[in-house]
Chains A and B, each alone.
Chain A
């Protein structure tokens, strides 16, 4: 019978996948939105009239950086506050390794 997988590993892996997806979505949203609304290109020169300030910021910064920053913060509070599991990280073997180094020397 295959051995049972370590529960900390199982939970950590699931949480790591969700965090990676959140990072990917934030990257894609911010870079895509900012590029199409806030980047000057040869075919799309931008000037004073295109700033369209919201709370003093150019509108592309407000919607492309500040708004997702707020959403990410809310997601983080929920994820770390309620979703992540309080796993027991187990016994600390520091003393045991110390002993092994003393016994094993070069090969320890």
Chain B
């Protein structure tokens, strides 16, 4: 039996989660009503480029199941060094939203792009690049979706009353199977698929904002309770050092070299730089209302990050005094909540991780389905499809992707947090450099972008393959030294070449490949580049129009 099932949540906790779920579904219905006018695809997948500052900030907070399950576990296990692990969140709002924000917002308007493959395809004038982007987005996001569905099911399982599982199967069967997990998965999947499919992008955004507020309230409630119960941070620190070793208060961490200095440098890339290259972030950069919105969202996100992550470190260091020697550190969050808060407050706080997973999944479902509908179905098979046909294709694709991810998640994958880190690293290694080069370098070409994308994704995959299978199995021990025992312990892990995380190797190889590939290929057509890099009159055409009607370009220039 899973350890989490031994945790006991009071019935009010379930009531809070049910309310939470109903509000999310309601927001899906309201979002559907709000986006009935205008171009269906732009509304359904991009919210009509109408996102306000609060929405951009809270939905860019990149919180997922890991924030409330994996992260607390790391703090409890390895101690204060996790503060350095997360430290780049101090600058992440500026880097993630500020470096590419305005330029991606402008390019997506100039090209008319509503998806990431759309954007790359139109910027570089390459259908092959658009297709490659779609395929890579789908591969990495489906890996990630399976992990998130599983995280949602695990949280739901904790709050489900035992009577409910007994109502479905006999106690004997329940004892031998993980029926709580399956019921939790079904409830989670139906909720998220329903409100995302019906409400589209706006539903995903609104529920994300609602859920982010609940998460902040949850952390704010838990913080004073934890401080009071622990007798103070210093006492908790000494307690942690006595329970583990002196590494609890210092780097590289208690028990093992969790965060040596090479990884500390890597994680300033991981959160602050790779965050820019996530499809979910890039889509939000295409959807914000105007430059002022972007500026305010950076400020709001800075405040939000400080209110969430710093208290989380304090709370779970304090957990060492409150729950000493917990055998399953993954349970530290629900265990703390159930121990410290009254059942109603516990329901609200436990809704936070559930909301984090829900909001992550809804955004990603839409990115995958938009890739299939816009970039494959409409572009390659049914360019002349009407609004109604596109609408039904979008609804059914969103449901289909959700069902497939749920079915794969029936067999709960191990290493949830590491799967999430792997796919986030892979997506950043694939998409960030093409986005940067395409935004700021007029000489960047489609060949360079394809080389950059393929190299970044390839290097990341290769390092995870070597790390997970081992250098000996792959007969590479003559070339590579043994994988250093750093980072979180797991069988699914990357190969830390020179002690650095794969994100550094993926990003740097992607940058080099993008520059070399561009310089070795013929320069891009000047007329297309001029539309995107030079000052243009207000009636300048989109690049796609220029391809179909070259005379328009001559007329406007």
Contact = CB atoms under 8 A, between A and B. Distances in A.
Contacts of B247: 40
A80 B110 CA distance: 24
A100 B296 CA distance: 35
A80 B94 contact: yes
Given A19-B99, A90-B110, A98 B41 contact: yes
Contacts of B123: none
Contacts of A87: 102, 106, 291
Contacts, number: 258
Nearest to B538: A91
A34 B91 contact: no
B260 to A, nearest CB: 8
Interface string B386-415: 000000000000000000000000000000
B479 interface: no
A31 B264 contact: yes
B295 to A, nearest CB: 5
B202 interface: no
Secondary structure class of chain B's binding surface, majority of residues: helix
A79 B91 CA distance: 12
B99 to A, nearest CB: 5
A41 B122 CA distance: 52
A65 B102 contact: no
A26 B268 CA distance: 9
Contacts of B355: none
Interface size class of A (residues with CB under 8 A): 35 or more
A6 B87 CA distance: 35
B98 A19 contact: yes
Most buried by B among A4, A48, A94: A94
Most buried by A among B113, B295, B380, B384: B295
A73 B111 contact: no
Given A76-B298, A98-B39, A9 B250 contact: no
Contacts of B252: 39-40
Contacts of A58: 80, 237, 249-250
B299 A77 contact: yes
Interface string B97-110: 01111110110011
25 contacts: A5-B533, A6-B535, A23-B88, A26-B268, A31-B84, A38-B84, A39-B251, A40-B251, A55-B233, A56-B237, A65-B84, A73-B302, A79-B98, A80-B98, A81-B299, A84-B98, A86-B292, A88-B290, A89-B102, A95-B112, A96-B542, A97-B112, A97-B118, A98-B39, A105-B383
Given A48-B246, A56-B232, A92-B112, 19 more contacts: A4-B535, A6-B106, A16-B100, A23-B95, A23-B272, A31-B268, A39-B261, A40-B252, A53-B237, A58-B249, A66-B83, A73-B90, A76-B298, A84-B298, A86-B291, A87-B102, A89-B102, A100-B547, A108-B379
